[in-house]
Structure 1
Amino acid sequence: MPVGEQKLDESFSSGNDSEELLKSIKPRTIFERVKVIYTRDENSFLSHKCFSYLISEGLLDMLKNGKRNMEENNLIKVSIDDDIAWEFRKEGYWVGIITNDLEYTDFELSFIKLLLSTSRVNFPIQNENNQNITSLIAELFVKDLKNTTEYDEWQFGGSDYFKSVVDFFTSRNTAIQAVLPAFPCKSSNLEKVSGPLPDRGEQMALQKLITFARKVKEIYKPGIKLWIVSDGHVFSDCIAVDDDQVNVYSSALKNLYQTLKSDDEDPIQFSSLVDIFSLNNSLFKETTLKDIQIGHYLDTKIDEEAEICRKILVTSCDTDSGSLMRDINTPKHPRLYLYRGFSRFMTEDLEFHPIATKLSRKKFKKIISKVAFEMIKRNDAYSNLVELFFPFCLRLSIHAHKNCGPKFGIKLLDSNNCLVINSLEDHKAPILTDLLHIPTPWHNSIVEIDDKKVLYAIKSGHIKNGLEQGKGSGGWNLEKMCFELKNLKLN
């Protein structure tokens, strides 16, 4: 049985691990308590995103005329029937959330203040009818970015969902906002990548996004703003990458972007956990986080700042209370297949990690199981975080989706100029057996073969093996930021 498909009772769920997890029912997180986020002035709601609450006709009057108490951090607390509204005055308008009426900790109050003061929620009132433009942008997305899956549902509601999000912005004649969690860091597996820094792959990916933004601006003058929110520190310790290496990669990526864009444009904005949580001006007290434990299963260097971010992330947005363990112990459950996909992927990614050679196969499988489980939990928490802080944004993903919303999968490597292949000999595209990963620059290497116009994305190990076997000449080209092969000999 493949490592990624072992029975749970043989690895992670065996013994006390499973029992302790199933018994640990955590209290509801702040993410689960938020029912709606909104902005308003004295006359009307300017924008709102409902999670589990419907805006009623009398709500505005209750917010204005109800008992308003000043809390810490300049938060206004308003009681509304069985709920609470939290409001914060910002640039001439109110931004607020409605939550259930429970006791709130210092941590949760700090998180609420951060959310209200920094989330992307302030947009003009709807006053335009730009549905034709919205349709053109949807067509452009399909043509230039969208990743299509075998069970794609774009034509069965996905297109309408996509247009409704875009129309939120075009009807307000303001720049479309899209958010893409991506560009974490290079894989630690040097049989996949050339090294730890961005290379030709990232260059092509950024250029593709810049080009897409330029085409949107030709159709729609306000254009589009693409938020790249790095998930590097979300998963770095799970994928055997030191936290400081994530910082080096991110800095190099931003520098690369500056060389690709023109001076009169800036369509991409970069963000990260450190940026979202505003650690340079943090509202969070160390005492509120000191008892939070993060599961670390690989020997990586942990940065204090990144660890604080992970603690804030799981404390505020990790909604698992034992359900994930039950799901992956349920035959044919979708989360079981997701868990197996993560396990297979991490088995491959950590194949040459020292831990794989030091441990027995059984112990290695158990570590992989724990890592996969931890990654799913953090991925869920991270998705929840993005939903809170970018509530109106078009949500893009480098993972394959059915494209029915709210997330839409995209391809960062353009098949017109870069083909993903399995080997140097046959140039066949890999068969993707799950909805987990679309090929990305940080899990592959780029190679130019015999000066062909089309480049190829492939695991670096195949290139190195080909050179060692005398199938061609060449190596790493520093100027081109990719491998270069000449006189390739095919079998």
Structure 2
Amino acid sequence: MPPTTAPATDISAAILNLLLPHHRTTDRAPASAEAFPRQMRRINDFVREGATIVFTLPGFPCKSPNPAKVLGHLPDQGERLSLTFLNTLCTEIERIYPPGARLIICSDGHVFGDLIHVPDEHIDAYADELRIVMEQHGLSRLSVFDLRDVLGDLPHDTKRAHIHGRHAPTVEALRAEIRADDHALALYRGITRFLFEDTADHAGTRSALQRECRDRAYGVIQRSRAWGDLIAQHHPRAVRLSIHPQPIGAPKFGIRLLDAPDVWTTPWHSAALHRTDGTWTLMSRKEAARLGRLVRQGGRPSHFTQSCEAEIPGTRP
């Protein structure tokens, strides 16, 4: 039984209301907790049992391979701030619901590392560093789950072939969905754009690269869907979060990790800039370097701090 006399639905709504200010969506109108019945039902199931709420968040795969966008292949201040935010969200839930919450980062870099042209050793190093950050900063409500937890020490190509063959939808099915669904189309275009921008060493024409990225985007979505199925098998009761914008009432709840001008921007596609007013934002490394100076932590590039005279585009009327 939950350790409170309040009705389970009231507690679940209060928990969801803690997430709503951070909802990552392209919808413009704000929504109440009642507009998210799927998430309410999942949270309710935990609350009725008085159990710790489990969230899963696919993401934190690896750093972009484009050096104009990121500071390197390991997590930096963008990841540290994002993980701290997620852990704090769990502690806020605990204040109104004592059993609290935990969040599983489902790191998906190995799932499509070959498609995004990132070496598997960089992906391993990135996920291992996430675990180190959690331990060093006392982020005890977070954990990492990746393909190694599913298929052990098999070769990475074997793992990818396994999950693709057993769980991925066909390209034909995806094409039909993208033609019929605006959200699926937006996701496809967003991933295509990231693949295009992340390619730093293409020797051919721009149009050829665009065609290649459109093809690879289908593969990324196929593998992402396959990974989602595996997450559901291993964590069947969890409340599913997403780093991608999600419509109101969708099966997945989009969560915004840090402020950024573009709702698609993530810490692993950018660098963090510390503004003069004390707030943080994400942008390309190249742009952040124009606006501020580089800060190192532990001997590695960490983030940028804004110069007093620099003005961030779009931040002033």
Q: Same fold (TM over 0.5)?
A: yes
The structure having more radius of gyration, on CA atoms, is 1
Residue in structure 2 matching 1:275, options 143, 149, 167: 149
Contact 1:236 1:242 in 2 (8 A): yes
Please report how far the alpha carbon of residue 261 of structure 1 lies from its aligned counterpart in structure 2 after TM superposition: 1.5
Pairs within 5 Å for 1:183-262: 183-261=60-138
- Mapping 1:247-326, distance limit 5 Å: 247-261=124-138, 266-277=140-151, 279=152, 305-320=155-170, 322-326=172-176
- Asked if 1:342 corresponds to 2:191, the answer is yes
Helix, strand or coil: the match of 2:212?
helix
Aligned-pair distance for 1:323?
2.2
Question: Do the aligned partners of 2:296 and 2:303 also contact (CA within 8 Å) in 1?
Answer: yes
- What is the one-letter code of the residue matched to 1:167? N
Tell me if structure 1 keeps the 8 A contact 2:24–2:245. Answer: yes
* Structure 1 match to 2:271: 445
Q: How does 1:50-61 map to 2 (within 5 A)?
A: none
Q: Relative to 1, partners in 2 of residues 1:306 and 1:403: Cα closer, same or farther, differing over 3 Å?
A: farther
- Kindly indicate whether residue 296 of structure 2 is the aligned counterpart of residue 477 of structure 1: yes
Q: After superposition, give the CA deviation of every residue in 1:426-480 in whole Å (9 maximum; x if it has no partner).
A: xxx34x5xxxx3x211111112345x4122322111133x27xxxx6x3233359
Cα pair 2:272 2:288 within 8 Å, conserved: no
SS of equivalent residue, structure 2 residue 230: helix
The change in CA–CA distance for 1:181 and 1:334 in structure 2 (over 3 A counts) is closer
CA RMSD of aligned residues (A): 2.8
Q: Check conservation: 1:185, 1:232, Cα contact below 8 A.
A: yes
Q: CA deviation at 1:489?
A: 4.3
Is the CA contact 2:273–2:304 (under 8 Å) kept in the aligned structure 1? yes
If asked which structure has higher relative contact order (CA below 8 Å, sep 6+), I would say 2
Matching of residues 320-469 of structure 1 within 5 Å: 320=170, 322-327=172-177, 330=179, 335-350=184-199, 352=200, 354=201, 356=202, 358-413=203-258, 419-420=259-260, 429-430=261-262, 432=263, 437=264, 439-450=265-276, 452-464=277-289, 466=290
Deviation per residue, 1:56-91 (Å, 9 max, x gap): xxxxxxxxxxxxxxxxxxxxxxxxxxxxxxxxxxxx
Taking structure 2 as the reference length, the TM-score comes to 0.86
Report how far residue 161 of structure 1 moved: 2.4
**Residues of 2 paired with 1:340 and 1:400: CA distance?**
13
Tell me the distance in 2 between the aligned counterparts of 1:486 and 1:344.
30
The 8 Å contact of residues 178 and 396 in structure 1, kept in 2 or not, is answered as yes
Q: Is contact 1:202-1:441 (8 Å) kept?
A: yes
Asked whether the 8 Å contact 1:153–1:404 carries over to 2, the reply is no
Q: Post-superposition shift, 1:192?
A: 1.1
- Aligned AA for 1:230? S
CA contact (8 A) 1:274 1:306 kept: no
Q: Which amino acid aligns with 1:232?
A: G
SS of the counterpart of 1:481?
strand
- In 1: Cα distance, 2:182 partner to 2:247 partner: 17
Change (3 A) 1:323 1:489: closer
| Aligned CA distance change for structure 1 residues 152 and 404 (closer, same or farther; 3 Å) | farther
TM-aligned CA deviation for residue 314 of structure 1: 1.1
Deviation at 1:208, TM superposition (A): 0.6
Equivalent-residue separation in structure 2 for 1:337 and 1:213 (angstroms) = 30
Q: Matches of 1:334 and 1:405 in 2, distance apart?
A: 10
Shift, 1:251, TM fit: 0.8
User: Do the aligned residues in 1 keep the contact of 2:63 with 2:269 (CA within 8 Å)?
Assistant: yes
Q: Please give the alpha-carbon distance, in whole angstroms, between the structure 1 residues aligned to 2:206 and 2:231.
A: 37
The alpha-carbon deviation at position 327 of structure 1 amounts to: 5.0
Contact 1:193 1:445 (C-alpha < 8 Å) held by counterparts: yes
Question: 1:445 and 1:212, CA in 2 relative to 1: closer, same or farther beyond 3 A?
Answer: same
Aligned partner letter, 1:381: A
Distance 1:173 1:443, change over 3 A: same
Give the paired residue count.
Answer: 306
Contact 2:24 2:256 in 1 (8 A): yes
Separation in 2, partners of 1:165, 1:380: 20
Residues 131, 235 of structure 1: alpha-carbon distance in 2 compared, 3 angstrom cutoff = same
User: What SS is found at the alignment partner of 1:213?
Assistant: helix
| Contact 1:225/1:267 (8 A) holds in 2 | yes
Consecutive unaligned residues in structure 1, runs of 5 or more: 1-123, 281-303, 414-418, 421-428
Checking the alignment, whether the CA contact within 8 Å between 2:171 and 2:222 is kept in structure 1 is no
Judged with a 3 Å threshold, the aligned counterparts in structure 2 of structure 1 residues 321 and 475 are, in CA distance, closer, same or farther, namely: closer
Find 2:12's aligned residue among 107, 115, 134. 134
Give the letter aligned to residue 287 of structure 2. H
Which residue of structure 2 lines up, in the alignment, with residue 102 of structure 1?
Answer: none
- 8 A Cα contact 1:238 1:375, kept in partner: yes
Aligned residue in 2 for 1:20: none
- 1:156 CA displacement: 8.7
Q: Which SS does the other structure have where 2:249 is aligned? A: coil
Distance 1:334 1:484 in 2: 35
* CA 1:380–1:152: 2 relative to 1, 3 Å: farther
| 2: CA distance, partners of 1:405 / 1:366 | 30
* Percent of aligned positions that are identical: 28
